[in-house]
Amino acid sequence: MAAKTMTKSQIADTLAQSTGVTKKIAVQFLDELAALAYKQAKNSFTLPGLGKLVLVARKARMGRNPATGATIKIPAKKVVKFRVAKACKDAVLGVKK
């Protein structure tokens, strides 16, 4: 059975305990970090050791409606992606030999 995903409150509590600050300060830090990431994402925003938020332009392309099978044109758009850092991959998945 897989472990449950940590909630924002649980993350803040863990950070507060490990850094010696109050839970209120830890929540405020998480909120400020998220706000900064949203604001800087268009220039790319790096979280050292975790990864990078980047804005990517997708080209227009042809797709297919799965219900009818009809070919449709999908317009170009911008999307936000998160590129995971190598250090994070190695820590989570283990280093390949």
pLDDT in tens, 25-62: 999 999 999 999 999 988 899 999 999 999 999 999 99
Q: Which helix (H) or strand (E) covers residue 95, if one does?
A: none
| Residue ranges matching CATH 4.10.520.10 in the chain | 44-97
* Residue 27 to residue 50: CA distance in whole angstroms: 19
Say if residue 49 is exposed, middle or buried (CB neighbours under 10 Å; 0-12, 13-18, 19+). exposed
Q: Which of the two residues, 13 and 1, has the higher pLDDT score?
A: 13
Which class is domain 44-97? Answer: few secondary structures
* Residue 16 to residue 26: CA distance in whole angstroms: 6
Which residue from 39, 76, 73 is spatially nearest to 57, judged by alpha carbons?
76
The pTM for the full model equals 0.74
* Residue 33 to residue 76: CA distance in whole angstroms: 30
